[in-house]
């Protein structure tokens, strides 16, 4: 019996260890719970397109997050002051920023030393607006094909008005005509109202506008849509060709997305992304998008997709900036 005791004890030890290994182990949850208000820095003033996009989104996001959402407008220097302000905030999961391609262009232009690609993580895209090249109804061309023919027959005559020669509207025009084998001189204007007046008065032939901004002038017959910078035609203008169908890979359109400072906990970004996905899909927000003609192309993008999209936008815009600076 004394000889069997050590053997029995060894067997019991093995069984104990085996059972312990089979027992369920405690796992730590990685779910992030927001416990106080979340701030979204908007680097432009109240009332503009970027601001209204977030304010329409705010109540639905608050419901999905379960905490208040505070919108902080930090305007100045074309969005650079707010962009740099957001970069100075702690990366704790409670501060996010609305951004557009203008921050990429500001970095390329040397207006900020903060590299958007390196400093911020794309979380969600809320809006992908569409750029439309428009002309006066009295212009000597009726459509895009006639415009190209007119430009070839009259080199340097057709001019395009823009709000800034280093803005997205300018690079959309440049890319479109560059890929069509032509160049268009650009004329900068201080405001959209001045630009529209110049087009209607025949001082410049072309301008770039979004669907919401130009639909009134199109309906009144004062302006004519020439081509839409998109992969396919948009429902609002079914008779106007797209650059895609003309085999011109020029699709630049304003994007508005929410970004987090690099270093923000991954769990916080995921939790915000999940809530934003729910908020964006609500019937109320989709109705707001439709009312503002922001439903003309797929808008929403999650973090993984927006990361790829933003890298592509950066590459495209940097190449255009280097070519035309």
Average pLDDT over residues 113-126: 98
Average pLDDT over residues 114-130: 98
Average pLDDT over residues 82-105: 98
Residue the block writes with tokens 């701030």: 39
Other beta carbons less than 10 A from residue 48's beta carbon: 12
- Would you say residue 13 has pLDDT above 50? no
Intra-chain end-to-end CA distance of the chain, in Å: 95
- CATH code for the domain defined by 38-128+254-324: 3.40.190.150
Q: Do 133 and 227 contact (CB within 8 A), yes or no?
A: yes
Q: What average pLDDT does the structure give for the chain?
A: 92
Phi-psi region of 166 (alpha: psi -120 to 50; beta: other; left: phi over 0): alpha
Average pLDDT over residues 101-122: 98
Q: What is the pLDDT of residues 55-73, one digit of tens each?
A: 999 999 999 999 999 999 9
Domain boundaries, the chain: 38-128+254-324, 131-229
- CATH code for the domain defined by 131-229: 3.40.190.10
Q: What is the pLDDT of residues 246-278, one digit of tens each?
A: 999 999 999 999 999 999 999 999 999 999 999
Find, among 209, 233, 208, 215, the residue nearest to 290 by Cα. 215
On the question of a common fold for 38-128+254-324 and 131-229, the answer reads: yes
Q: What is the pLDDT of residues 174-215, one digit of tens each?
A: 999 999 999 999 999 999 999 999 999 999 999 999 999 999
Q: What is the pLDDT of residues 16-44, one digit of tens each?
A: 444 444 444 433 446 899 999 999 999 99
CA-to-CA separations, 122 to 40, 98, 164, 172, in angstroms, rounded: 14, 10, 26, 23
3-state class (DSSP) for residue 229: strand
- Would you say residue 106 has pLDDT above 80? yes
Residue 183: per-residue pLDDT: 93
């Amino acid at each position: 019996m004394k000889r069997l005791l050590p053997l029995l004890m060894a067997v019991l030890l093995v069984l104990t260890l085996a059972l312990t290994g089979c027992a369920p182990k405690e796992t730590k949850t990685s779910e992030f719970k927001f416990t106080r208000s979340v701030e979204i820095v908007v680097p432009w003033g109240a009332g503009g397109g970027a601001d209204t996009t977030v304010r329409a989104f705010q109540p639905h996001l608050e419901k999905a997050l379960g905490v208040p959402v505070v919108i902080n407008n930090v305007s100045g220097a074309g969005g650079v002051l707010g962009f740099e302000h957001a970069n100075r905030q702690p990366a704790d999961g409670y501060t996010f920023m609305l951004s557009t391609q203008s921050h990429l262009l500001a970095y390329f232009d040397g207006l900020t030393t903060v590299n958007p690609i390196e400093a911020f993580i794309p979380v969600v895209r809320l809006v992908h607006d569409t750029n439309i090249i428009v002309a006066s109804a009295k212009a000597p061309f009726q459509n895009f094909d006639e415009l190209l023919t007119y430009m070839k027959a009259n080199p340097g005559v057709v001019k395009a008005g823009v709000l800034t020669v280093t803005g997205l509207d300018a690079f959309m025009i440049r890319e479109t005509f560059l890929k069509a084998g032509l160049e268009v001189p650009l004329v900068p204007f201080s405001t959209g109202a001045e630009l529209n007046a110049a087009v209607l008065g025949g001082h410049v032939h072309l301008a770039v506008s979004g669907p919401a901004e130009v639909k009134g002038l199109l309906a009144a017959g004062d302006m004519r849509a020439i081509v839409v910078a998109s992969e396919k035609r948009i429902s609002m203008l079914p008779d106007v060709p797209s650059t895609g169908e003309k085999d011109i890979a020029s699709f630049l359109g304003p994007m508005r997305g929410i970004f987090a400072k690099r270093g923000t906990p991954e769990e916080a970004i995921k939790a915000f992304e999940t809530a934003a996905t729910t908020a964006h899909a609500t019937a109320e927000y989709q109705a707001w998008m439709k009312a503002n003609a922001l439903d003309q192309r797929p808008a929403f993008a999650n973090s993984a997709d927006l990361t790829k999209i933003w890298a592509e936008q950066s590459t495209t815009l940097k190449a255009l900036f280097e070519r035309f600076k």
